[in-house]
């Protein structure tokens, strides 16, 4: 009588394993071929300001990316504090005090001091340039 239960258990375990494996592979996110590595993102942004325009919403934004892991975002005359990091995939991640959200974006160089931030699906979110030090 135990044999059917064991077989049922094995079948259930294998089904769960296949489900987990298929779910895990779907969640794997590959970096765009031309994305900067995590160390390149740190070298580019740490201690500097990026100045750009949101590609979808159209607003201008400057963000000082401090070497201590904090950021200060400037939108118009408003200053918004936050923090930043680079995740294990090499994406630039940040959060600001006015939003209960963390964003992570790929950084891609498109020209001489010209960059874009991309969502995981490859959609462009922001074009920016980097200015040495704190520019505001």
CATH code for the domain in which residue 54 is found: 2.40.128.640
Strand partners, 114: 111
Please check whether residues 43 and 102 belong to one and the same domain: yes
Please check whether residues 77 and 44 belong to one and the same domain: yes
Structure tokens at 15: 């089904």
Please check whether residues 89 and 113 belong to one and the same domain: yes
Please check whether residues 67 and 120 belong to one and the same domain: yes
Quick one: pLDDT at residue 29? 72
Please check whether residues 69 and 116 belong to one and the same domain: yes
Quick one: pLDDT at residue 41? 98
Please check whether residues 62 and 13 belong to one and the same domain: no
First to last CA, the chain: 76
Which stretches of the chain score pLDDT less than 70?
A: 1-28
Q: What is the secondary structure of 13-63 as a DSSP string? A: HHHHHHHHHHHHHHH--PPPTTBPPHHHHHHHHTTEEEEEEETTT--EEEE
Quick one: pLDDT at residue 27? 52
Please check whether residues 61 and 107 belong to one and the same domain: yes
**How do the residues of the chain divide into helix, strand and coil, expressed in percent and rounded to 5?**
25, 40, 35
pTM: 0.78
Which residue range is the domain that position 24 belongs to? 1-30
Using an 8 Å Cβ cutoff, are 94 and 83 in contact?
yes
Report CA 10 to chain centroid distance, whole Å: 39
- Does 136 reside within a domain? no
**H/E stretch holding 79:** strand 78-86
Please check whether residues 48 and 26 belong to one and the same domain: no
Quick one: pLDDT at residue 18? 34
Quick one: pLDDT at residue 30? 81
> Any idea what DSSP says for residue 90?
S
Please check whether residues 62 and 19 belong to one and the same domain: no
Quick one: pLDDT at residue 33? 86
Say how many domains are in the chain.
2
- Does 62 reside within a domain? yes
Give the strand pairing for 60-65 and 78-86.
Answer: unpaired
């Amino acid at each position: 009588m135990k044999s059917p239960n064991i077989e049922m258990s094995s079948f259930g375990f294998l089904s769960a394993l296949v489900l987990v494996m298929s779910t895990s592979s779907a969640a794997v996110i590959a970096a765009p071929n031309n994305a900067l590595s995590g160390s390149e993102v740190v070298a580019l942004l740490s201690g500097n300001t990026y100045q750009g325009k949101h590609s979808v919403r159209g607003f201008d934004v400057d963000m000082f990316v401090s070497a201590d892991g904090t950021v200060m975002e400037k939108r118009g005359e408003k200053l918004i504090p936050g923090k930043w990091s680079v995740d294990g995939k090499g994406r630039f991640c940040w959060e600001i005090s006015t939003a209960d959200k963390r964003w992570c974006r790929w950084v891609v160089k498109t020209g001489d001091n010209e960059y874009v931030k991309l969502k995981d699906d490859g959609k462009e979110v922001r074009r920016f340039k980097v200015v040495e030090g704190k520019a505001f």
